[in-house]
Amino acid sequence: MHTHHNALGLAAALRPVQPVTLIRPHAARRAARFFIEKFPGRSLYAVKANPSPDLLRILWESGVTHYDVASLAEVRLVNETLPQATLCFMHPVKAEEAIAEAYELGVRTFSLDTMEELEKIVRATDGAQDLNLCVRIRVSSDHSKLSLASKFGADPAEMKELLFATRQAADALGICFHVGSQAMSPKAYAEAMERVRAAIVEAAVTVDIVDVGGGFPSVYPGMEPPELEGYFEVIAAAFESLPVSYSAELWCEPGRALCAEYASVLVRVEKRRGDQLYINDGAYGALFDAAHIGWRFPVRLVRDEASESKPMAFSFYGPTCDDLDHMAGPFHLPADIAAGDYIEIGMLGAYGCAMRTAFNGFGATAKVIVDDEPMASLYGDVLEDAREKAVQL
């Protein structure tokens, strides 16, 4: 993999025809060290956010030893890439065959949210006595940009029976939850921990693990969250007040927060039609979220000479033949942008890289390491903010 200083250097040297993913290993290392050093417990990387083997190795080398896997494919991937890593199968609904193979590969931590899933885990592991079983409780996603409150999680009224039954089958009993993706306030975790407290008190069981899940935010245009230390302080205080085992462990499952800054994408403008730019990546590539949930990513013009034009709002069309390949934005770029210009789209290390397809024959991208800073960051003292801007030589 080649190395360039930044997107401008790459564009000037190669004039790439296809999109190029710009990788920043130093950004992933910085995020990993931040969680390892500051979160008051154990951090599990949520592999679904970006399953790149290169990224997995970077996180391992930075001190992340536990990985939240959500499928058998992810179990196999991390097991092959990092044989010494500890895997936690945290999807609450799993095929029995997947549970059995995962157990054979060394997985001992599983999540569940129903009695049926508990029975499935017990059967698939032949009643093993060395299981860490985490019961997922449903909590609010009111403070998050993307809800995860509908699909998984036992209702509080179901928790007493489920916790009691799971306690009988588990070597270590846990409670886990997910406040939703891109939680914009620490209150999300404070309120969820109150539900955990109520469940423990009602069930009167000994809890060994409290897993606050993911949801830790990154910086995007129009979404500037508070500092992550504030989230950690709220979580630590709530955990300390819970009626749990004296040796109970506190876990979290950051995905976006560990890898959003890891990658951006350099795209080329193929056509301009008024305030619409036709680019060579889109909804079936790294910009799925921009198309389907209206997510705004930071953008900047990559051109040898700085533009003197005022910025204006643009929308994007991707390269496929599908009308749905449209990203409404708005994305603010200089008004004189034209076909042949390059744009860097930032903060795509989370989910963007993971959701790329080859629909319509598009999707091939090169990867290049760059050593400049990401377009936005929650880590470090003074970094570029999330405001869209042009870059110059």
Q: Are 327 and 315 in contact (CB under 8 A)?
A: yes
Domains of the chain: 3-23+260-370 (2.40.37.10), 26-259 (3.20.20.10)
The pLDDT value recorded for residue 200 is 96
Active-site annotation holds for 134: no
The pLDDT value recorded for residue 1 is 62
Q: Is 288 left (phi over 0), alpha (psi -120 to 50) or beta?
A: alpha
Q: Are 284 and 325 in contact (CB under 8 A)?
A: yes
* The amino acid at 276: Q
* The amino acid at 107: V
The pLDDT value recorded for residue 91 is 97
SS3 69: strand
The pLDDT value recorded for residue 392 is 38
* The amino acid at 341: D
pTM, entire model: 0.92
Distance CA 275, CA 66 (A): 46
Tens of pLDDT, residue by residue, the chain (393 residues): 667 788 887 888 889 899 999 999 999 999 999 999 999 999 999 999 999 999 999 999 999 999 999 999 999 999 999 999 999 999 999 999 999 999 999 999 999 999 999 999 999 999 999 999 999 999 988 888 877 777 888 999 999 999 999 999 999 999 999 998 999 999 999 999 999 999 999 999 999 999 999 999 999 999 999 999 999 999 999 999 999 988 999 999 999 999 999 999 999 999 999 999 999 999 999 999 999 988 999 999 999 888 899 999 999 999 999 989 999 989 999 999 999 999 999 999 999 888 888 888 887 788 999 999 999 999 964 334 433 443 433
Distance CA 284, CA 358 (A): 7
CB contact burial 61-90 (16+ within 10 A = b; e otherwise): ebebeebbbbbbebbebbbebbeebebbbb
Assigned token pair, 310: 């005022």
The pLDDT value recorded for residue 142 is 86
The pLDDT value recorded for residue 385 is 40
User: Among 88, 134, 252, 321, which one carries the catalytic annotation?
Assistant: 321
SS3 19: coil
Distance CA 71, CA 77 (A): 10
